[in-house]
Structure 1
Amino acid sequence: MQWKTLDSPPMLAPLYWHAVLKRKITGSHLPEQGFRCRVSVNPQHVAAYRKVCGFADSPMLPVTYPHILAFGLQLQLLTAPSFPFPLLGLVHLSNRIRVHRPLGAVSDLTIALHAENLQPHAKGATFEVVTTVEDALGLLWEAQSRMLCRGVKLDGAAADDALPTPTQVSELTHWKAPADIGRRYAWVSGDYNPIHLSALTAKLFGFPQAIAHGLWNKARTLAALGEHLPAANIDIEVEFKKPVRLPSEVALHASGAGSSGELWLKGSGDIEHMVGRWRPIG
């Protein structure tokens, strides 16, 4: 892997322009290049993120917040000339976070991000965006986001690695996903994908209504779980199913508090939006 170190987090506007211009698949191999950058945590921005995602006030960073710190690097990677797939149209299939140590007293961090594990899929090909976060003591947090690019043709059989349907869960709570949550989350995350912003922009991409960001669904779920989960040595994996159309109401079903458990996010009519599990890092 060749690493390019940036002096500061990239500006998002030019990267979005690159995303709009690139609409074709240009290859079938992932680049052997990753991006690194040092970032500082802004307490005011963290507070705004907490409010949008429902996290309680705490000296600990929200467990999903490092995704926000890494978003600029993700755009840098996915819009680079060497990256073979267009950003617009990628589908976020799953997300896995590992928290190695408590996310308290965090200020300056080093973020590194690259893509790997290109695999055939029934609808195209998948790859993983891998993010690591380090502080002065070493590895603190890491994540894998599995993405689907439709229309890519690769040799081989598609893997069947879906998470099992949760069995030992009961309804814990429920909440409304308001019509404007896509715009509010975009403001704190930088993710202005048109499918999340309004019904009008979502219809341009084949959606009848705007849909909630997958990572907002995960963040809102983990905020609701709160002290159900350990603060560290935890591996939290979710798979995104049917999108949450805006506005709508969802219900969270989960196991009891403990080091391991399952979660299930459902909508009206038992629509399955997200399944997941947490367990110690193995």
Structure 2
Amino acid sequence: MTTDWHTLNSEPGLKTLYVKAATRRKITGTTLPDLGYHCWVNVDPKHLEAYRKVCGFADNGLLPPTYPHILAFALQMQLLTAKAFPFPLLGLIHLNNRIRILRPMGGVHRVRVSVKVQNLQPHAKGATFNLVTTLDDQLGPLWEAESQMLCRGVKLEGEPAEEAFASTLLLTEVAHWKAPADIGRRYAKVSGDYNPIHLSAISAKLFGFPSAIAHGLWNKARTLAALSEHLPTANVEIAVQFRKPVRLPSEVTLMSSAAGSSGDFQLMGVGDLEHMAGQWRPVA
């Protein structure tokens, strides 16, 4: 599939995009558009510091490994609310996320963000696709990510295939923290992701959730902050599968193992409830 790239002169405004998202509730097709967007984005030091504070990252002079998602969020919204995109944004479920840090992300002030969608596949509950995001600086490729998203109710031919992580290492407890009732609102403020399921019990119930749930990418960011002493700063791929949501407020325990340049981890809740499973490996 050849991507029809469009270059934007500035980041799109989120307010307009949220209005578009709120007014689109129907599935309009079963084909992904050959559409992609480029945009140069500046790193705001104050915003970066606010993100570090919410997610628990220390200031080590590098962009946190999950921060490029924040730089790309408006462009992702632009793509997922485009008329050619066939699925409603509200209701999409983030199943897994994979990032690759190709070079150390120090001294990064301006990047070119690129987003596109690909790999539409049948799923037991609908269909999945990959939201692909890349960051380049003046020297070339810096960071890339794939987020697998599920749209319920889409009917595609074929057999669904699901990936599962199999940990081969013994995991031990390395951290424990609380996910407070307001973390969804606090993370929304720095990420721009104001999905109602994260903001309050009242708004979450409108979408079938008994309580607000933490953003999946906050869970991943908070986990990587806790593992920062073990993670390589470059040439590393960090993948997670989101399992059961973290209901707010809640307490979670991080289990992990590290073996040189590789490691596995799990984010566990009360009663051995698995919220997230992940691993890091050298980039192949």
Q: SS at 2:229's partner residue?
A: helix
Where do 1:127-138 residues align within 5 Å? Answer: 127-138=129-140
Identity %: 66
Distance 1:113 1:133 in 2: 9
Matches within 5 A, 1:143-222: 143-165=145-167, 167-222=169-224
Q: How does 1:262-277 map to 2 (within 5 A)?
A: 262-277=264-279
1:52 equivalent among 50, 54, 69: 54
Aligned residue for 1:70?
A: 72
TM-score by length of 2: 0.98
Which range moves more in the overlay, 158-167 or 144-153? Answer: 158-167
| d(CA) in 2 for partners of 1:119, 1:254 | 31
Task: Give the aligned CA root-mean-square deviation in angstroms.
Answer: 0.8
Q: How does 1:16-27 map onto structure 2 within 5 Å?
A: 16-27=18-29
Alpha-carbon distance in 2 for matches of 1:51, 1:258: 28
Mapped to 2, the partners of 1:227 and 1:118 lie a distance apart of: 36
1:165 deviates by: 4.7
CA contact under 8 A between 1:166 and 1:275: conserved in structure 2?
no
For residues 86 and 162 of structure 2, what CA distance do their matches in structure 1 show?
24
User: What residue is the counterpart of 1:80 in the other structure?
Assistant: 82
2:8 alignment partner in structure 1: 6
AA aligned opposite 1:33: L
In the alignment, structure 1 segments of 5+ residues that lack a partner are none
Which letter maps to 2:130?
Answer: E
SS of 1:275's partner is: strand
Q: Following superposition, which runs of at least 4 residues in structure 1 exceed 4 angstroms of deviation?
A: none
In structure 2, C-alpha distance between the alignment counterparts of 1:257 and 1:211, rounded to whole Å: 32
Q: 1:154-213: per-residue Cα shift (whole Å, max 9, x none)?
A: 000001212225642110010000000000000000000000000000000000000000
Match of 2:17 among 15, 18, 32: 15
Conservation of the 8 A alpha-carbon contact between 1:48 and 1:188: yes
| Secondary structure at the counterpart of residue 270 of structure 1 | coil
1:277 match: secondary structure: strand
Shift, 1:57, TM fit: 1.6
Unaligned runs of 5+ in 2: none
Letter paired with 1:261: G
Deviation, structure 1 residue 73? 0.5
CA positional deviation for 1:258: 2.7
Report the secondary structure of 1:69's partner residue: helix
Number of aligned residues: 282
CA distance in 2, matches of 1:21, 1:131: 25
Q: 1:40 and 1:49 mapped to 2: Cα distance? A: 15
Match of 1:38 among 37, 40, 43: 40
